[in-house]
Amino acid sequence: MKRKPTLKQRIIRGFIYFILVCITITTILPLYFVVIASFNPGNSLFSTQMFPEKLTTKHYHDLFVEKDYALWYWNTLKISFASMILTVVLVIITAYTFSQFRFKGRKTGLMFMLVMTMFPGFMSMIAIYILLLQVGLLDTHLGLILVYAGGNIAGSTWLVKGYFDGIPRSIPEAAKIDGAGNATVFTKIMLPMSYPIITFVAVSSFIGPWMDYIFARLVLRTPSKKTLAIGLFEMVTGRQNTEFTMFAAGAILVALPITILYLSLQKYLIQGISEGASKI
């Protein structure tokens, strides 16, 4: 027979529910306000009502007609996707090498990458600017892609290496006994078993450049090469730029791909985070 909770347990449970409800409200309320603001007539957020009498899609229409929003969207999508592919390829190869092979300088390389993860990216902005200027990649999308991909290698390599280390070594060794080479073991055995952590690295390396402003602003100068972060920020900065409701509409469209990506890959993301972290 199940015992009834005591008064103390009911109070604690009620307090926990109260905290969860407060957290939920504080999370959903700003999102709801941004969504309503994107459909609210006018340009001011102060005139936005929580339950407006009239809604309009004019701001979404003006984004693609009066602004270069479609161009910003394409530039950002191209940079994020290319950075994701390059990051995944470099991280998987590097992590597999450090996990499965023993060579001179291995521990030094791992420690160097670990130390690199301790420094924030903005500390290297001046060096990155000078380096891109010298190699002729300043104000190019390729330069930005290389910066994003290079910045993700150190931390992601440690995460993926921990996942590879957790795979029993008897599996690749058995394949080698059967005559499989290193390339076959890597592509036919290790990669299929590592889909969760690969998915996590891919999604995280896509979302990073998707709304990054600092490095994009540092590298890009030409208006036709602007990203979403730069374009949206310029819409609400300065005395003449007060298109806050149009900014809200643009922010909603920016969040949609990321939301869909998370929901569709949620299973692999959770599995990749838990397993990868536990195997480091």
Whether residue 2 lies inside any domain: the answer is no
CA distance 25 to 17: 12
For residues 184 and 262, membership in a common domain is answered with: yes
Residues whose CB is less than 8 angstroms from the CB of residue 115 and which lie 6 or more positions away in sequence, other chains included: none
Residue type, 259: T
Helix (H, G, I), strand (E, B) or coil at 119: coil
For residues 219 and 148, membership in a common domain is answered with: yes
For residues 25 and 91, membership in a common domain is answered with: no
For residues 40 and 146, membership in a common domain is answered with: no
- Structure letter (DSSP) for residue 168: -
* Domain boundaries, position 18: 7-60
Domain end residue (candidates: 16, 39, 60): 60
CA distance 185 to 148: 29
| Residue 119: φ, ψ to 5° | -105, 135
What region does 179 belong to: left with phi over 0, alpha with psi -120 to 50, or beta?
left
| Site of tokens 């004019």 | 58
For residues 26 and 140, membership in a common domain is answered with: no
Domain end residue (candidates: 18, 36, 60): 60
CA distance 247 to 255: 12
User: Model confidence over 129-168: pLDDT tens digits?
Assistant: 888 889 888 889 999 999 998 888 888 888 888 888 887 8
Reference 156, options 192, 202, 112; nearest CA is 202
Tally of domains in the chain: 2
**What's the N-to-C CA distance of the chain in angstroms?**
44
For the chain, the residue count is 280
What pLDDT score does 239 carry?
A: 58
Whether residue 1 lies inside any domain: the answer is no
User: Model confidence over 57-77: pLDDT tens digits?
Assistant: 888 888 888 888 899 999 999
Q: Which helix or strand (DSSP H or E) is residue 199 part of? A: helix 195-210
Inter-residue contact 247 to 265 (CB < 8 Å):
no
User: Model confidence over 17-49: pLDDT tens digits?
Assistant: 999 999 998 888 888 888 888 888 776 666 666
